[in-house]
């Protein structure tokens, strides 16, 4: 019995080590082959940095599976790490050993298909490891069926490059028809991923306070990833290694959020994190807008007199610095009222008690006020105040 428990705690870390080993081997092989297979010497570095963005998935999966073996969510993350490792290692390993191109293509696509299918379950089973309700089981069955279909069809579909086509791939009309079915199945799999994402809304409506915090962690990471994708589409992210590093850092937030939510470590800190993110985001946008507006107005006024824009830029910088702290305090208070209400109410209760202490001298009133403040800010099940007796007899008032 004890040996079985030890095995369940060991297997996830073995799977994690295999996934990380494949990522390390992929980066090492890309570095060895950098002059032979890459047009730029930094291509291998981009691949290694991208792999770091996914390294957190198997680590978080091992943490969850070793501590909560009955929760399938940890094993799901371990499987995602293996799928990505296979897809990432296939090409550099095949080029290093001189393997057939069709084998490399098959392994890459198998890893990709497995990753997409597991991604659907990542959304569908979060955070309890079960589907939200019995009607959602059809989504799980459709993901399994679509994934098996694609895994079976990948080596049978001919590629545009004859060298990447398997010897036993279907030819002629049959191959083209199977390729069309495979493309439709890929689009259907992404549609199922979107359907699984929508299940989070149903969970949020029906969840209690703890599960809502878990979902908020997940949604927070997903929102940051979505914001990065929007910035990328608008070409606001610098290209090159900076883009690769930022992308890896952003995508690594998802496994971190999953680990915090499922393991419930500092779970309720999400309210404060969301509050600070929203406040500083709005503050940054407001100050940038103010800076640009002041620069534009001062240029119209000062350029005819000074002949340049240096003074306008300096004055605008000073104006933004002057309004930073007042704007931050007011904006933070407004955001806390909406996103971090518990902390906001606790701070108000403490401030009110501190103001009463300046004029209050009655010990009973101070004790009652202290109990009320602690109850409002911390919400304990019991409150007691112990005071040493002035005579040193050991008596106490509560």
User: In this predicted model, what pLDDT tens digit does every residue of 83-96 receive, in sequence order?
Assistant: 999 988 888 888 88
Of 122, 136, 147, the C-alpha closest to 64 is 122
- Short-list 219, 223, 264, 253, CA closest to 71: 264
| Reported pTM | 0.70
Residue ranges matching CATH 1.20.1070 in the chain: 2-276
Residue carrying structure tokens 């070409």: 235
Which structure tokens are listed for 39?
Answer: 């047009």
Per-residue model confidence as pLDDT tens digits over 3-35: 566 777 788 899 999 999 998 888 888 888 876
Helices in the chain by DSSP H: which ranges? Answer: 2-32, 34-37, 43-67, 72-97, 101-124, 137-153, 172-206, 209-233, 241-251, 253-263, 270-306, 310-339, 341-357, 363-378
Is the pLDDT assigned to residue 395 strictly greater than 50? no
Q: What are the Cα distances from residue 122, in Å, to 170, 172, 267, 336?
A: 34, 38, 19, 31
Looking up tokens 């890893």 gives 111
Q: Domain spanning 2-276 has what CATH number?
A: 1.20.1070
* pLDDT above 60 (res 41): no
Task: Count CB-CB contacts under 10 A for residue 165.
Answer: 20
DSSP state of 125: S
| Poorest-pLDDT segment among 51-55, 62-66, 394-398 | 394-398
**Average pLDDT, integer, range 193-213:** 83
């Amino acid at each position: 019995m004890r040996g079985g428990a030890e095995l369940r705690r060991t297997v996830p870390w073995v799977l994690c080590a295999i996934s990380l080993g494949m990522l390390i081997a992929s980066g090492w092989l890309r570095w060895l082959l950098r002059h032979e297979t890459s047009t730029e010497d930094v291509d291998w570095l981009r691949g290694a940095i991208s792999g770091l963005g996914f390294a957190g998935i198997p680590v978080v999966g091992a943490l969850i599976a070793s501590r909560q073996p009955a929760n399938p969510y940890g094993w799901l993350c371990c499987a995602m790490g293996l799928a990505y490792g296979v897809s990432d290692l296939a090409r550099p390993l095949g080029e290093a050993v001189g393997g057939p191109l069709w084998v490399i293509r098959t392994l890459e696509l198998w890893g990709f298909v497995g990753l997409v299918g597991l991604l659907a379950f990542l959304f569908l089973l979060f955070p309890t490891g079960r589907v939200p309700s019995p009607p959602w089981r059809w989504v799980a069955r459709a993901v399994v069926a679509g994934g098996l279909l694609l895994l079976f069809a990948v080596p049978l579909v001919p590629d545009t490059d004859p060298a990447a086509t398997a010897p036993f791939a279907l030819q002629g009309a049959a191959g083209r028809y199977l390729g069309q079915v495979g493309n439709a199945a890929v689009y259907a799999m992404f549609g199922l991923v979107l359907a699984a994402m929508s299940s989070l809304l149903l969970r949020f409506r029906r969840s209690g306070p703890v599960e809502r915090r878990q979902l908020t962690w997940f949604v927070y990471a997903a929102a940051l990833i979505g914001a990065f994708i929007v910035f990328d589409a608008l070409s606001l992210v610098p290209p090159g290694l900076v883009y690769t590093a930022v992308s890896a850092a952003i995508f690594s937030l998802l496994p971190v959020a999953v680990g915090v939510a499922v393991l419930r470590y500092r779970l309720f800190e999400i309210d404060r994190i969301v509050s600070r993110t929203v406040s500083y985001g709005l503050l940054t946008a407001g100050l940038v807008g103010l800076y640009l507006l002041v620069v534009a107005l001062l240029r119209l006024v000062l350029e005819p007199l000074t002949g340049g824009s240096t003074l306008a830029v300096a004055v605008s910088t000073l104006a933004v610095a002057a309004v930073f702290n007042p704007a931050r305090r007011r904006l933070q208070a407004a955001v806390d009222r909406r996103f971090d209400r518990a902390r906001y109410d606790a701070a108000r209760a403490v401030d009110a008690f501190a103001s009463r202490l300046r004029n209050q001298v009655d010990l009973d009133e101070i004790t009652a006020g202290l109990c009320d403040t602690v109850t409002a800010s911390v919400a304990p099940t019991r409150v007691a105040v112990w005071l040493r007796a002035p005579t040193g007899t050991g008596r106490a008032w509560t």
